[in-house]
Structure formats: structure tokens, C-alpha cells
Structure 1
């Protein structure tokens, strides 16, 4: 027991600077060279060695005029010190690798019915990594998202963007292709061999932004170019409500292909010409670079952007 107390006392009293000095002496092969490497005087190095030997009650280096030899005890201590030094030198790397806990609140404005594996994957992985972060996701029209971002109300917008907006930055999240569909009760449902001319007098269901100056202006351009003369019998800013009116037979209307695929397979919708699609419409990630973001907002945005840039656009939609 007394011997163990002495060993514990020795461990508590050992000075790492003495051990490091001894390691450098062995590596350099002389007191003089060690002093030069450590930027201290030769007497200071000699004193450090004597103090360490006194603490350990062992001679570690036999030295004299023209004589320098590591003792067996010195070899043992040197090997241990090298291992300790290797561990200490890694402290900086280990600390950098530890992810500091991030907390905070993230508010996202999103247009209706956005489906993409990118956002879902990042949201899931981010929550696992930073469980203290909270989210609020509001579904509003794209035009209102643009205004909210300009007013710095939210962190990130996921919406349509007809043209760049000064002060806002954007990145394409997904490419969508809009196609025309009708519901089961529509007179064109189930008919084949149709062309665009067969649709021109039909009533139409669409989005409130399906206007020349709206975010879905490509749809308005298509109708004008093809001479569609039917009435607009239903409109909504919400994609789910546009889909509802089409399914219920109010009129034919446009939907993103990947959104309508399941309904077509289930017999709720019927695809109409032009079969190459009406218009491509991209969904963008949009943010205001001048906003003051908290650490959670910055981390989430960067994680989302990194995933978008690493994943080919044809793999961002659900399969």
C-alpha cells in the first residue's frame, strides 16, 4: 500500500515539461543540440534532466566528456514519453473533429406539395445530428415567399422563381415538367389519339400565378400560344387544391409530372397532350445573404446546398 502511494505521488508530481525535455535530449543525442531545438540555455536543459532523474530516482543518461549513453531506465522512459507526446499532439485534431452541439430555430417558407429526396434526406439527417434544433415550415405562395425573404422573415425559401430577384440568392433544387391532366369524370378521360387541338375549347383549372407576369408564366404562355379558349373555372395558389379540382372534373389542368404519377397509376387522372409536356418549371432554394443567420440556420442551409450540388438533378425527385 505504501509503495502504491509513492507511485501515485510520483505520477502526480511529474512535470510534462521535464519529460518533453528528456525526449528531445534523446532525439538530439546531446544536451547542446536539445537546448538549441528548445530555444533555451544548455544549463537549463541539464538542470531539467537532473530534476527528472531525481524525481524518478534513476539515472536516465550516462554523460561525461565525449560520452553520452541512454540507460535501460532511460530507454523505457523514452518509449513511454514518445507515446504520451503522440497522444497530446493529437488533442487539437480530436477537438476539431468533435461537433459542437448546435441549437436554435429554423423557419422555412415553402410552396405547396414540394416533393424531393434532397430536402427530406437533409431534414432527417440534420435532426439526428442536431436534435436540439427546432423547425417551423410554413406553406405559402411563391410570391409571398419572395417578399418574406426580402424582409428577412425566414431562413430559407423553397419555391418557384421566374427571374432573379435583387438581393436574393438561389440554387435550383429540382427540375419539374408540367403536363396536362383531366379527372375520371371528364369527357376526355380514357381517350387516346388526342392532340392539342382537341383541348382548345375545354374549361381549364390552373394556378393563380398562371399569368404572363406570374411565377408560372410558362403555363400562361403555353395556353396563349396554343389558342386555348375555354374558361378558367377553378384556380388556387395551392397545388393540392388544383389537383383536387382536376380530379373532381372541373376542367383539365397542369400538374408536375412527378406529383401526378401516382394518381395516373391509380386511375384518378388521365394524361393529355402534348405528351412531351407543357413547360419546364424549376423549384429553387432561395435565401437572403444579408440576413443575420443563427448557427443552426447556417448549418442547415449549407448542408442542403452541399447535398444539392453533389446529387445529379435527375436523382432529386422521388422514384
Structure 2
């Protein structure tokens, strides 16, 4: 193995290329040279070469790579934390340069879980648009862990998503609580049957969300599926509620969905509720933001309006069943 040169801090500040850090962050977030190359639109050798050049610039090995092995070194973890802050600052430079006029014209980018059906959120969003019609929005629907990563990296204004655990670098408020149930579609043999018990679900194929895992945000749903005895092999998964719903309706398997979201589908005969009928697992959805992010006026006003509405509304009125 080649010997890395010693770290020269003054030379580093003069010579470090931001594109190398950007490639490094993509590598860290994707956990793979192949996926990082696809995300950046580069060839795999270019990504590997960028990592090598960065390690030479900083004088430290950053990623321990090998067959079936991809782990950050101590230096890599330290550089990742700093690079995330640098990336967020660069992404937000435009905020400092925007005109501060009487009309709020900023853009608000929101990372959002696909099963966010929340009247409180919709009401605040609608009121904000009526008062500040020049502001614009973009919604990035993704798995909750990706939404959290986007908030940490300051790529979005804030997120509405599930939280597996508290991150001390972020702040949050519980926006609402929903309950998940198990459903099947018209082609499923259990569709339309009454008097079902958990025993009727044993061994049935299932579909679910990508976060439906014991170590992820939908852990209570994972436990519900386990108690029901569904086949441990998941036929299909998605981060998007509409796609999970599509797979259930198409008959790929039994799957979990928020009960309040499915009410109309059940009434119209597109979905059928299955056991357990009592004590369905509760899932909390949070408003999440990075206190270190420099927000434009539109972002600040909307975030503060959401926080104010959440704090003024009892949780019973933010619980959907």
C-alpha cells in the first residue's frame, strides 16, 4: 500500500477541491462506489480516483474498503461531519444573497414521507400560500431515513417524517399520530371475509414499506406483521405509500397502511381490513429541522407557522384513526 503524505493544514486550505468532498459525501451516503457513481453521473473509476486524491490531500485513509466491507475510518467520520456542514453552507449561500423585499419570494423544499395525510399540515400550507403567493415549493417523497439525512445535510428546508431515534443535531415536534392496520386487495382469498383471526394470516405473502424493519422507523408495524405470522419473505417493498397500496390491491400480498388513509378504499371495495382489529400500532410523524441551517424568509415563516399550530393543537386533535 502507498504511504500517504503527512497532513499540511495550510496546504489543505489552499488546495482542497470541493468536488472531492462532494464525491466523498455521496460515497458515504450511498455506501458503495457503484451507487455513488450512479448518483453523481460519473464512472466508477472516477469516483475511486476522487477518493484516492482526497485521501492524499488530507494525508489520512478515509474509507476501509474490501470485498463485502465498506466502513469509515475515524478520520473519515470526522471529515464526513465537517463536510456535511460545508455542503449545507454552500447550498445555502444563495440565502444570504437573496433580496430582502416586502414580498416573500423564497423557495421551500420539504422532504416528506409518502403516508403524510394530515389536515393540520394541509391547513397551514394553504394559509401560507394565500398570504405569500410568490413563494414556491418542492416536495421530495422518500423513506424517512433519507429525509433525516437530507435535513442533516441542509439539502431541504425541513422534513415531515418518522424518527427512529433522536438526533442531537436536529430539532423536532410531533406533528401527528396515525395507526397502521393490515389490508388485502380484491384478488386475495381473505378479501371480504368476516370473523377472521390472526391465525388466518399465518404464512400469507406480504408487501410493505422499506422502513418496515426491526431497526427502522416502522418497527411497531414489523412487530405487528410478526405477530400475525405473515411469511417472513416480503414480496415487494417501496418507500411510497401509493406503490405499497398498488401492490396490495393487485394481490401481491397482505400489507400495512395507515387506517385513516384507507377508509375510502375500504368503503369502495378496493381494500379489506384484516386482523388485528384492536390496538393497532401507533406511528408518530414529526416535523424535523436543522437549527444550524440558515433559512430564507419563506422557509422560516412556514416552519414557525407549523410549530405554532402544532403547539396550539392538542394531540387528541392530531391523532387520526
What TM-score do you get using the length of structure 2 for normalisation? 0.65
> Any residues of structure 2 matched to 1:1-319 within 5 Å, and which?
100-229=102-231, 231-316=233-318
In structure 1, distance between residues paired with 2:232 and 2:200: 12
Going from structure 1 to structure 2, the CA distance change for 1:134 and 1:229 (only over 3 Å counts) comes to closer
In structure 2, distance between residues paired with 1:169 and 1:230: 35
In structure 1, distance between residues paired with 2:246 and 2:279: 20
In structure 1, distance between residues paired with 2:221 and 2:108: 33
What TM-score do you get using the length of structure 1 for normalisation? 0.66
Q: Is the 8 A contact 1:117 1:317 kept in 2?
A: no
In structure 2, distance between residues paired with 1:222 and 1:242: 17
Measure how far apart 1:315 and its partner are: 3.1
In structure 1, distance between residues paired with 2:103 and 2:320: 31
In structure 1, distance between residues paired with 2:158 and 2:188: 39
In structure 2, distance between residues paired with 1:112 and 1:280: 17
Q: Is the 8 A contact 2:201 2:229 kept in 1?
A: no
In structure 2, distance between residues paired with 1:162 and 1:265: 32
Q: Is the 8 A contact 2:179 2:320 kept in 1?
A: no
Q: CA RMSD in A?
A: 1.9
Measure how far apart 1:318 and its partner are: 7.7
Gaps of 5+ in 1: 1-98
In structure 2, distance between residues paired with 1:194 and 1:170: 39
In structure 2, distance between residues paired with 1:176 and 1:169: 21
